[in-house]
Amino acid sequence: MGGEPISHTSAVVERTPTPGFLPQNRKYLGSKYRLLDFITETIVSRVGSVEVFADLFAGTGVVANAFRDRCTKVIANDLLYSNYAVNRAFLASTKATVSVEKTAELIERLNRCAPVCGYAHANYSGTYFTGENAARIDGIRDAIETFYAEGRCSEQERLVLLTSLLFAADKVANTVGQYDAFLKHIDAPVCAADSGRHLIDSNVYKPLILKLPAIELSGNRDNEVFNEDANDLAARLQADVLYLDPPYNTRQYVDCYHVLENICLWNKPLLKGKTRKFERDHLKSRYSRKNEAARALRELVQAARGEHIFLSYNNEGIIAEADIREILGSRGKVEVVSREYAVFGNGAGSARRRTLQERIFYCRRTASLAHSVGSRSATPASRERPEDPTERRRQTELFAPPPGSSPADPAAERRPGANGKIEMFDARGNSRGFYSPRNRLNDLTGREWVYWSKSVINKPYPPNLQHKLRSSHGGQKPPDLCGDLIEVFTKAGQRVLDPFAGVGGTLLGAALRGREAVGVEVNSQWIEIYREVCRLENVPEQRMIRGDSRIVLGQLAGQGRRFDLLLTDVPYWRMDRNEQSKGQYKRVGQRQKQARRSKLKAFNRSAEQSKEQWLEQMREVFACSLPLLRDKGYVVVFIGDMYHGGRYHMLSSDLASLLCDLGLIPKANLIWYDVSKSLHIYGYQYEYIPSMIHQNILVFRKQA
C-alpha cells in the first residue's frame, strides 16, 4: 500500500480506541477555546436567538462547535483541507452517514496496521516524527484509502478516520504545536544528563495511537461545511450571524500546518527544503499579507449577506483599528467589545508571558449590497490604477502560478513596462506578470503562459455551481476547468462552440470568463439542468440549441457563424452503458446485489453502438464543426480511455487519428489528473486493471 513494510513490529499497537477527543484537544494557533465564553456571550447578548451561524475562518471548528446547540444550522469553512476534514467529522456526522461502532472497529484495525516505509517515512522520519511513527502514518493513511475504496467505510466515516489520524499525529509530532520547523533533539533523551534541561516532549517517543473522536450524531442534519476561500463563499451564504476570525499576522497557516495538510490530502507531492514543504502558494491567505489584508476584508464585508457581522481581531493584528471601523462602518454602526488575555511566547523559542487584547467588532448590517454571483466583466480594460481598487467588482479567480492564485482577469489593471510589455494586475491589485501586445492567442502574461504550458493539469477544482445538480449527468466537467482552457486558447470577447454540450460545463466556463458560447445538445433533460444552474447561480445564460449536432452545425454554417475555439467533452463509447461490476457483488455486512449500471446513465435513447459506429458518429460531428471554426482556431477535446471486454481501449488514440484524418494538426495531449477521484480496486490478485483517475485533453489546430 505505497511502500515497503518495516520489520520492527513492536510499533503495531494492540489497543481498542479510546473515545472522547474534541476539537479543542489539538494545539492550534489562534484557537478561541479560552475565549469561548467571551465570544458566545457577546454574540448572544446582541442577537438573541440565532437561526443560522456561519464561521468563515473556522480553523479546527472550536467556535462553530460552540454554537452547534445554540442554533438550527451551523456553517463552517476553512481554506485548509485538514481543517475541513475535522469540521466535517464534528459538525456533519449523522446516524445516516456514520456508524460509531463500525468506525471504532476500523480505528482498532488501523492501530494494528503494520508500519510501512513509504512517503511519510521518507520525508518526515527523524524530523517531525520518529521513524517508527512516520512509518505508522504511512501504513494507516494508505489503509484508510483502501477501506474507502473497498466500500468498508462511507465518505463521512473516512473523514472521521482522517480526523483521528490528524489528532494522533499531532500528539506525537516533534514540534512546539506548529510545523514551520521541527525540534533538533529528536534522537536525544527527554532531559539533558548534565543539566536536567528538558530537551524534547516525551510524547514524541510514544507510539502513534488513534482514538475515536467524540462526535455527536444528532443535530447535525442541516449543518454545512466548506473548503473554500472565505471571500468567494461569503456572497453565496445567507446567515443570521457571520463570524469572522481571519489570520491576524503574517504567519501563513499552511506554513504552520503543512505536514498535517499533506498527510490529509495524500497527493504525495515533491517536498522541498529542510522543513519539507510542498508547493502551497494557492493555500496562502491574503489576510496574512500586510498590503492585502485590509483590501481582502473590505471585499468580504461588501459581499457578505449576514445581518449580524462579528469580527474577532486582536490588538497585534496587521489591519489598523481605524481601517476595520471604516470597512465595517460601510455596512452599519460599529461597536467594539474587548477582553485581555495572556499568551506565552510565540512558539518559536520565547516563553515570556504577555498580555493581548481580544477585540470583537460588531456591525448590524443596514447598507444594502447587490449580488451577482455569476456575472463577470467581459471587456478588457487598459487604465491607470484607481485610488481604491476594492470598489470594483470582484472577478472570478483563474490563473497565476502556482494554481489557485490570482486570476487572469480580463478587466484587470495594466501598467506599461519595459520592452513594450504591460504589467498586469488582478482585481486584488496583485501583479500577474507582464503581458506582451504581440500575444495573438490569449490574454495571459508570460508567467501565466509558462504555468499553463504544463502537460499535466493537477489543479483541484471545487464542486461548485450546483455540482450535485449537474452530476445527474455523470460525465460533466468542472466549469472552472473549462474556463481555464477557454482562457488559454482565446482572448476576452471571443466565441466558443461545444457540439456535445451536456449540462453546459463549457457554456458556464465561457460565461464566467467573459466569452460568448453556443452549445448543441440532443437531450432536453441536460438542457433544462443547465438552465436551472444558470438561474440558481445568477450566471448569464448562453445559447443552448437542442438537436442533433450533425444537423444544427450545418444550419449555423449556413448562417455564416464562426467560432474561435471548439471545446467539447465527447460521449465516450459505451461509457454510459458499462456495468460497474459483473454479475453480483457485495460489501462487508451487506447482502449481495446485482451489478450496477454506470453513473453516467445513457446519454440519449439511441441504440448501443459498436466502436466503429461511435467513431463514425464522431467523424461526422467534427466534420460538420470544422467549417464553423476560424483558421488557426483550436479544437480541444476531453476523451477518456476505458477498460472493457478484458482489454484496454485507447479511445484517445482512436479519436486523435480521426481528427488528423480530418486535416487538423495535433498540438498536445494534456493529462487532467482529477485529484477528487477515489481509487478503486479492479482485478486484485489475478490481473492488472488500472483505476482511471485521469482524462486526456486532445489539442488540435485548424490550419489556414
Whole-number Å distance between alpha carbons of 663 and 550? 18
Of 174 and 608, the structure prediction assigns the larger pLDDT to 174
Residue 579, pLDDT > 60, answer no
Whether the pLDDT of residue 49 is over 60: the answer is yes
C-alpha cell at 408: 487572469
Most confident of 195-204, 324-333, 353-362: 324-333
Round to whole Å and give the CA distance between 287 and 238. Answer: 23
Domain residue ranges of the chain, discontinuous segments joined by +:
36-81+226-260+295-370, 93-219, 389-447, 467-701
208/107 Cα distance (integer angstroms): 12
187, pLDDT greater than 70? no
The closest of 456, 412, 449, 340 to 694, measured between CA atoms, is 456
For 467-701, CATH gives: 3.40.50.150
Q: Is the dihedral of CA 162, 168, 170, 174 positive or negative?
A: negative
Question: What's the pLDDT tens digit per position in 525-562?
Answer: 999 999 999 988 888 899 999 999 999 998 888 888 89
Q: Which residues, in sequence order, are CB contacts of 437 under 8 Å at separation 6+?
A: 420, 421, 422
Identify each DSSP E strand in 349-435 by its residue range.
353-364, 413-416, 422-425, 431-435
Distances, alpha carbon 356 to alpha carbons 24, 59, 98, 290, in Å: 20, 20, 41, 20
- The answer to whether the 36-81+226-260+295-370 and 467-701 domains have the same CATH topology is yes
Predicted confidence at residue 386, as pLDDT, reads 34
Kind plus residue range of the DSSP H or E element containing 195: none
pLDDT in tens, 135-181: 999 999 999 999 998 899 999 999 999 999 999 999 999 888 888 88
Give the percent of the chain with pLDDT over 70.
80
Between 379 and 117, the more confident residue is 117
**Lowest-pLDDT range of 4-8, 56-60, 279-283, 559-563:** 4-8
Tell me how far apart the terminal alpha carbons of the chain are, to the nearest angstrom: 51
The pLDDT confidence band at residue 113, using thresholds 50, 70 and 90, is: very high
Report the pLDDT value the prediction gives residue 684, as an integer from 0 to 100.
Answer: 76
pLDDT(207) > 80: yes
Contacts of 392 (CB under 8 A, 6+ apart): 386, 411, 427
Question: What's the pLDDT score for residue 688?
Answer: 86
Question: Which CATH architecture is the domain 36-81+226-260+295-370 placed in?
Answer: 3-Layer(aba) Sandwich (3.40)
3-class DSSP state for residue 491?
Answer: coil
- Average pLDDT of every residue of the chain: 81
Mean pLDDT calculated for residue range 204-221: 87
Q: How far apart are CA 521 and CA 444, in angstroms?
A: 31
pLDDT > 70? residue 415: no
Give the C-alpha separation, 511 to 377, whole Å.
10
Environment class of 43 (CB within 10 Å of its CB; exposed 0-12, middle 13-18, buried 19+): buried
* Model confidence pLDDT, tens digit, residues 352-382: 567 888 999 999 976 443 333 333 333 333 3
Q: Residue 345 — pLDDT band, cuts 50, 70, 90?
A: low
DSSP letters along 618-680, please?
Answer: HHHHHHHHGGGEEEEEEEEEEE--EEETTEEE-HHHHHHHHHHHTTPEEEEEEEEE-TTPPP-
Nearest to residue 319, comparing CAs of 327, 310, 329?
A: 327
Q: Does residue 344 carry a pLDDT above 50?
A: yes
What whole-number distance in Å separates Cα of residue 535 and Cα of residue 88?
29
The DSSP output letter for 311 is E
* H or E element that contains 323: helix 321-329
Asked if omega into 402 is within 30° of 0 (cis), the reply is yes
The DSSP string of 536-550 is HHTPPPPEEEES-HH
Taking alpha carbons only, the member of 411, 414, 410, 407 closest to residue 392 is 411
pLDDT number for residue 191: 63
**Of residues 549 and 464, which shows the higher confidence score?**
549
CB-CB contact of 457 with 672 (8 Å): yes
Q: Which residue has the higher pLDDT, 377 or 455?
A: 455
**pLDDT of 646 higher than 60:** yes
| Closest by CA position to 122, among listed 262, 9, 283 | 262
User: With 90 as the cut, is the pLDDT of residue 16 above it?
Assistant: no
pLDDT for residue 190 is more than 50: yes
Residues 62, 91: Cα–Cα separation, whole Å: 11
Secondary structure letter of residue 385 according to DSSP = P
Give the pLDDT confidence score for residue 392 in this predicted structure: 31
Note the pLDDT tens digit of each residue in 495-528. 999 999 999 999 999 998 989 999 999 999 999 9
Inter-residue contact 229 to 183 (CB < 8 Å): no
* More confidently predicted of 204 and 486: 486
Which pTM value belongs to this model? 0.54
Using DSSP, state whether 181 is helix, strand or coil. coil
For residue 602, name the pLDDT band (cuts at 50, 70, 90). Answer: very low
- Judged against a pLDDT cut of 90, whether residue 568 lies above it is answered with yes
Q: Give yes or no for a contact between 680 and 598, defined as CB atoms under 8 angstroms apart.
A: no
| 303-318: pLDDT as tens digits | 888 889 999 999 989 9
In angstroms, the CA 489 to CA 500 distance is: 19
pLDDT for the residue 428: 66
